Amino acid sequence: MAILPILQYPDERLHKVAKKVDKIDDAIRKLVRDMAETMYSAPGVGLAATQVDKHIRLVVLDVSDMHDDLKVFINPELVSSQGEKVNEEGCLSVPGIYENVSRAERVSVRALDEHGKPFTVEAEGLLAVCIQHEIDHLNGRVFVEHLSHLKQTRIRAKLKKHKREIL
Ligand code: NI
């Protein structure tokens, strides 16, 4: 297994739209394991392939308290969504930034697992937030892009300053 470098906002590659996975093979399963290791070591609760510069529709998630419930979503599709809720979100690609984002409260998502088996999940709470956040990544959208332009400008300035300080 390997820990993969995570692209940092505002890297342009975070705006690429990921392609569907055609064939779920050992190379995909290796990427799943590497992404899981990268997510757990960060630590984070979700990671999209886009964030590790692999532009395919693959997401790993684990919102459990014990970090022992890895969920793999390949070619995830939002089947339905209900309600609306504001939650504070963060992202491994936007370190140190936490902002309120409004999303659907409950979603139904269809996807394939790492063996190519289709499944559907009805999600609410953190899992629902996380799935929508990660599907956004696959579509080239970072969570801060749900915020006002003014806020986005402030966040970019803050990240730039932080980068200067650690260099
Ligand atoms: Ni993210």
Q: What are the extents of the domains in the chain? A: 12-166
* Ligand 1 centre distance from Cα of residue 46 (Å): 7
Record the pTM: 0.96
* Ligand 1 centre distance from Cα of residue 115 (Å): 24
Please give the pLDDT value at position 69.
97
Residues 95-133 have pLDDT tens digits of 999 999 999 999 999 999 999 999 999 999 999 999 999
Residues 49-63 have pLDDT tens digits of 999 999 999 999 999
- Positions marked active-site: 134
Residues 35-47 have pLDDT tens digits of 999 999 999 999 9
* Ligand 1 centre distance from Cα of residue 165 (Å): 23
The single residue listed with the structure tokens 């504070």 is 88
Give the residue among 137, 118, 125 at the shortest CA–CA distance from 49.
137
What is the overall mean pLDDT for the chain? 96
CATH of domain 12-166: 3.90.45.10
* Ligand 1 centre distance from Cα of residue 157 (Å): 19
